[in-house]
Structure 1
Amino acid sequence: MNADLILHHGTVITMDQNFQLAEAVAVKDGKILATGSNDDILQYSTSQTKIIDLEGKTVTPGFIDAHQHMINLGFNLANVNCRKASIEEVVSAIKKRAEASRPDEWIIGWGYDEAGFKENRNLHKGDFEGIPNPVYIMRYCHHAAVVNEKALELAGITNETTVINGIIERDDSGNVTGVLVEQGKSLVENVMPPYTKKQMKNAVKLANDEYIKDGITSVHEAGLGFFSDAFKEFDVLKEMKKEGTLNVRMYVMVLQEVFEEFLEAYSSYEWDDHIKMGSMKFFGDGTLSGKTAAVSQDFKNSPGEKGMLLYSYEDLLERAKIAHSQNKQIAVHAIGDRTINQVLDVYEKLYEDDPKPNLRHRIEHSTVSDETILARMNKLGAIPVPQPPLVYFAGDVYMENLNEPAVQNVFANKNFIDAGLKPAGSSDCPIIPSSPLLGIAVAMDRMTINNRVFIPDQRVSLREALSMYTINAAYASFEEDLKGSLEEGKLADMVILPEGFLHFTPEEIKGTEIEMTIIGGEVVYSKGTLKT
């Protein structure tokens, strides 16, 4: 059989069970035809074959981000970047956008982190006095936001307003500050104007282009409907796939509130290798940085504070039955160990009452665990979906917020692997940058942004880290026979990295740039260093 594409004279990391290396790879009809020596693979070439000389560079399977929010990322790229070092800089960026906008136009920002502000305080509504526009800025974690007085007014939020499963922050005098947490921020989001289809397509394209530059060839979309409307979001993805403007492959989770309706609406849709129906998605608790994740012991220096469970056991069980009974995967955002145990209780009951082949129910984040939790996950075939790069961005905060022994079990990737689990690597982008290379490096060195080592016992090898972002992530979406390794018959999704990558230190990996990204045998991104 003749090849459409051949990559040769490099190091091909196949990521098969034996971690076999090759010199070259051949592609036919968008799939891997063969891997092997240069001589063996070049025999598949004809005058019609596209041939790329790797010049010693490294090839890996395309990276898979098992938990991210593509549409959110796209809109963040279009909105105001508030990932700044000071409140002054945030306010300046918001004012600049407002000056170029209509007075009634919402000014939306993202990414602020009060822990890094030189003013040593959080944003509040008073910072935006003089701006006539309604202002809404999402914190980097996506679990809190700050708004100005105009936005509070439009949402009808007063000093007397209350909210369930959320916080409307007030100062010592009882006045609303503009900081809204969890369902508190939803009160404002509910009055913001919906995005148009054109805006959504633009956002997805921005995110798509960002991902392929990072070597990401597949993503698990962690909750259609999380950003706007699940049906509008999916229709945009369908149209872009048809138009050829969506390169990245997608495994789409759907928020549980609309899951049944979504399944019915798209019962006749032909899912394929490009867009595949995924899990029913729940949010089980909050975050560690905001002390809203449900943990079993008090947060440090916060007596009696153990976070919040967003569902009772009974409620979560009844809702989860809907997916389980239809042989559909369930994915629950569970950060605290108390939440993870609640979720595992539900999974155990589901299998007990309605035995099924392993549905690979997932635990998104799986942040605080212990030996008992890992044993339970193994028994149930549950999949942990951690975010290794969060150790870099938030490890210092975790050390400040958690007591022992909880802090020793945060993103315990080595423990996951040693327990026989298959942790799927992810970013939770746009909470943090999407780069799988950063995630791989941090999984290896466990260094925080302040150059502190965070639980060195949980360091993993390069091979293990690569597995998290390739074959393990493929397993989490039932696609290990389709992607995640470069083996005959699998999709020709590949990433080209610099020569000698297998021997790079974590620090070198952090500074590495993607040379080329290939999806289905087609070059979708090239840095320009290789001739194509």
Structure 2
Amino acid sequence: MEAETILQNGVIVSMDDDHHYFKAIAIKNGRIIALGDNSDVQQYTGKDTKVIDLEGKTVVPGLIDAHQHMFSTGFNLQNVDCRVTSIKEMVERVKERAQFCDPEEWIIGWGFDESSLTEKRLPTKDDFVDINNPIFISRYCLHAAVVNDTALKTAGVTKESTVDTGELKKDNNGELTGVLKEEAMDLVTAKMPPYSTEQMKQALRLADKYYVQHGITAVHEAGFGFITGSFKEYTVFNDMVENQSLNVRMNGMILNRFYKNARDMNLKPGSGSHRLKIGPIKMFADGTISGMTASVTKAYRDNNGYGQLVHSYEDLARSVLEVHKAGWQIAIHAIGDHAVKQVLDAYENALEKFPRSDCRHRIEHASIANKNLLQRMSRLGIISVPQPSLIHLAGDVYMENLQDDVINHVFAINSFCKYGLTPAGSSDSPATPCSPMLGIYTAVSRETKNGKCFIPEERVSLYEALKMYTKHAAYASFEETEKGTLEVGKLGDLTILPKGFLNFSPQQIKNTEIDMTIIGGEIIYEKERDFNEKQREKEFN
């Protein structure tokens, strides 16, 4: 048998149950056919075999992001980047974009974090008073936004407008500030022009290229329809997969509000291909810690509030039971400990009324979970899906917002592992950068942006952190027989890292660049080639 691709002279980390390491690997028809020493794979070398000398580099299973938003990431690569250090700079960037826009064209921005702004406050509509275009700028967490007066008027939003959950923030005179939280954002986004099919495809192409540059070979999409409000997101992605227009493999969640659409299209849990597989039904229980909308049992420091639950227990339990009985895996966004408890109550109720084995129901984020909640998660077989990068990017804000005895339970990744919760690594991109290296660095170091160590006892080893983005992430989507470890018969998805990576310090991990990304045995990204292309572009321009 002749292999199509052979990699040799490397440190190949299988991540399998027996912790095997190899020097060489052979791939044919997109799957691994041999692992071993260089001599063990020589028999698979033919005249057409591509042989890659790793020169001691580290090979791990293709990295998987278990919770991200591919459409949003792609759109943000085109929108105004508002990850700046001042409101003044944010306004300048929006003004610059306005120069190239038609008067009625929406200007969309993303990524601001008020804790990083010199003004130390949220931007408001008054900051954009000199810009006539309608403006919508989402906070990095995607759970809040700021809009200007033109956007409010275009959407017909007034100070009398109301929402069931969320907030239309007002000043001391009862006037709208332009800051919208949670469901309040929908009042404006519902009036924005819909994305065209070509715009959606372009967003996916951009995100796909961006992900493979960061060593990502597969993702879990955290809810088809989350960004555009339309189940068209699924049909667009499916069309691109059928036309072989994308590289990254996807396990796609379906928002609960599109559950009927999925049934009408006869989509079944776990159906699809290795390129696009139908995953869980996605629901929401609360908001975010930094926005103080996550539902907590102990009040936030600043405002004595407890956040908000999205649903009553009765409504959530009813939805969970319906989907659970139909045989689906369920993934619920729950960040605050009150929300996590509500979700566990709903899961336990469904399991008692309709027992099922190996459901692998998930809690997305599971940010605040004390010992009792972890014990319940373990007993019920719940999978936690944290975002370690948030410790680095928002840990300082968490310490400001949460009570001292609550902080010790935030993203308790080491405890997740001890309780057997197989935490699946993720970024929630674009809420945080998609880079698994940033997530792995933070899981190992627990270092915040301001250099503080956030609950050091919850650090994990580099190997455990790698498991989150490989083995555990594959298990979270019932794909452990296909990916997540390097074993004969599994998909030939590999991420190539620098020589000596397994001994890197946290800072070295953070600064690590991906050498190569291989999907199905095909080199999709190569750092040296990418560097040369950028150099040629620079010289040409």
Q: What TM-score do the two structures reach when normalised by structure 1? A: 0.98
2:192 partner SS:
coil
CA distance in 2, matches of 1:347, 1:386: 19
2:408 partner SS:
helix
User: Amino acid of the residue matched to residue 409 of structure 1?
Assistant: H
CA distance in 2, matches of 1:230, 1:345: 30
- Per-residue CA deviations over 1:57-113 (Å, capped at 9, x if unaligned) read 110000000000000000000110011111111001101111100001000000011
Partner of residue 278, structure 1? 279
CA distance in 2, matches of 1:42, 1:447: 44
List gaps (5 residues or longer) in structure 1. Answer: none
User: Amino acid of the residue matched to residue 397 of structure 1?
Assistant: V
CA distance in 1, matches of 2:355, 2:217: 34
Partner of residue 302, structure 1? 303
CA distance in 2, matches of 1:301, 1:123: 19
- Per-residue CA deviations over 1:391-413 (Å, capped at 9, x if unaligned) read 00000001011112210010000
Aligned 8 A contact 1:230 1:254 in 2: no
CA distance in 2, matches of 1:266, 1:202: 27
Residue 301 of structure 1 deviates from its aligned partner by 3.6
Residue 45 of structure 1 deviates from its aligned partner by 0.8
CA distance in 2, matches of 1:368, 1:257: 26
Residue 529 of structure 1 deviates from its aligned partner by 6.9
1:409 partner SS:
coil
CA distance in 2, matches of 1:263, 1:425: 29
- Per-residue CA deviations over 1:237-264 (Å, capped at 9, x if unaligned) read 1121122221000000011011132132
CA distance in 1, matches of 2:113, 2:224: 25
Residue 117 of structure 1 deviates from its aligned partner by 1.1
Residue 302 of structure 1 deviates from its aligned partner by 2.9
Partner of residue 414, structure 2? 414
CA distance in 2, matches of 1:386, 1:74: 22
CA distance in 2, matches of 1:31, 1:481: 12
CA distance in 2, matches of 1:267, 1:454: 42
Percent of matched pairs sharing the same residue: 50
- Per-residue CA deviations over 1:371-403 (Å, capped at 9, x if unaligned) read 111111111110000000100000000101111
- Per-residue CA deviations over 1:507-530 (Å, capped at 9, x if unaligned) read 001111000000011111111279
User: Amino acid of the residue matched to residue 420 of structure 1?
Assistant: G
CA distance in 2, matches of 1:159, 1:324: 40
In the comparison of the two structures, how many residue pairs are matched?
A: 529
Q: Which moved more, 1:119-128 or 1:58-67?
A: 119-128
User: Amino acid of the residue matched to residue 284 of structure 1?
Assistant: A
Partner of residue 520, structure 1? 520
CA distance in 1, matches of 2:518, 2:509: 20
Residue 132 of structure 1 deviates from its aligned partner by 1.6
CA distance in 2, matches of 1:352, 1:283: 22
Partner of residue 370, structure 1? 370
Partner of residue 197, structure 1? 197
User: Amino acid of the residue matched to residue 287 of structure 2?
Assistant: G
Partner of residue 537, structure 2? none
CA distance in 1, matches of 2:242, 2:329: 26
User: Amino acid of the residue matched to residue 300 of structure 1?
Assistant: R
Aligned 8 A contact 2:10 2:57 in 1: yes
- Could you list the runs of 4 or more consecutive aligned residues of structure 1 that deviate by over 6 angstroms after TM superposition? none
CA distance in 2, matches of 1:336, 1:292: 9
User: Amino acid of the residue matched to residue 116 of structure 1?
Assistant: S
Partner of residue 30, structure 1? 30
Aligned 8 A contact 1:515 1:529 in 2: no
CA distance in 2, matches of 1:420, 1:161: 46
The answer to whether structure 1 residue 352 and structure 2 residue 352 are counterparts is yes
Cα RMSD over matched residues? Answer: 1.3
User: Amino acid of the residue matched to residue 389 of structure 1?
Assistant: S
The answer to whether structure 1 residue 12 and structure 2 residue 12 are counterparts is yes
Residue 421 of structure 1 deviates from its aligned partner by 1.5
Aligned 8 A contact 2:271 2:278 in 1: no
User: Amino acid of the residue matched to residue 484 of structure 1?
Assistant: G
Mark the CA change 1:89 to 1:266 in structure 2 (over 3 Å): closer, same or farther: farther
CA distance in 1, matches of 2:220, 2:285: 18
CA distance in 2, matches of 1:166, 1:529: 47
Aligned 8 A contact 1:369 1:410 in 2: yes
Partner of residue 174, structure 2? 174
1:43 partner SS:
helix
- Per-residue CA deviations over 1:145-172 (Å, capped at 9, x if unaligned) read 0000000101112222222101011111
User: Amino acid of the residue matched to residue 430 of structure 2?
Assistant: P
- Per-residue CA deviations over 1:129-151 (Å, capped at 9, x if unaligned) read 12121000001110100000000
2:398 partner SS:
helix
CA distance in 1, matches of 2:344, 2:69: 25
1:78 partner SS:
coil
Residue 266 of structure 1 deviates from its aligned partner by 4.0
Partner of residue 382, structure 1? 382
The answer to whether structure 1 residue 160 and structure 2 residue 155 are counterparts is no
Partner of residue 60, structure 1? 60
